[in-house]
C-alpha cells in the first residue's frame, strides 16, 4: 500500500537561524511527495540584499541556497502582502 505524502511545516516559532540545521536533518529522511513549507523567508525584502549583515537575513539566504542546491527538491518562493507589510514563504516538494 502506498504511503501518504508527508507535509513538513516550519512554524513561525522556529528561529530562522535553525532553518539551516532543520533542513540539513530533514533532507536525510525526506521521501518523494514530502512538502516543506517555510515562512518568513522574504524578511520585508531584505533577503534580496546580498550585502545585508542581519543574521536572520543571512540565515534565510543560506537556507534558500541549500534548498535550491538540493537536487531532489523543487521549490518556489512566494512573496505575500498584508496588514503587517510584506514577507513570504517557501514551498519545496521532494520529487526524487
Cα separation, 2 vs 77, whole angstroms: 29
Residue 5's pLDDT is 60
**pLDDT of the chain along its 96 residues, tens only?**
556 666 555 444 445 556 777 777 777 777 888 888 888 888 888 889 999 998 888 888 888 998 999 999 999 999 888 887 778 899 999 899
Q: What is the CA radius of gyration of the chain?
A: 14
User: pTM for the complete prediction?
Assistant: 0.75
Task: Please give the pLDDT value at position 41.
Answer: 84
Distances (CA, A) of 52 to 6, 17, 37, 76: 34, 15, 24, 22
Amino acid at each position: 500500500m502506498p504511503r501518504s505524502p508527508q507535509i513538513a511545516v516550519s512554524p513561525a516559532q522556529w528561529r530562522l537561524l535553525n532553518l539551516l540545521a532543520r533542513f540539513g536533518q530533514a533532507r536525510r529522511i525526506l521521501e518523494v511527495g514530502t512538502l516543506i513549507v517555510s515562512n518568513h523567508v522574504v524578511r520585508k525584502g531584505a533577503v534580496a540584499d546580498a550585502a545585508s549583515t542581519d543574521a536572520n537575513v543571512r540565515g534565510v539566504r543560506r537556507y534558500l541556497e541549500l534548498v535550491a542546491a538540493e537536487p531532489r527538491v523543487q521549490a518556489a518562493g512566494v512573496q505575500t502582502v498584508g496588514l503587517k507589510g510584506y514577507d513570504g514563504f517557501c514551498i519545496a516538494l521532494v520529487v526524487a
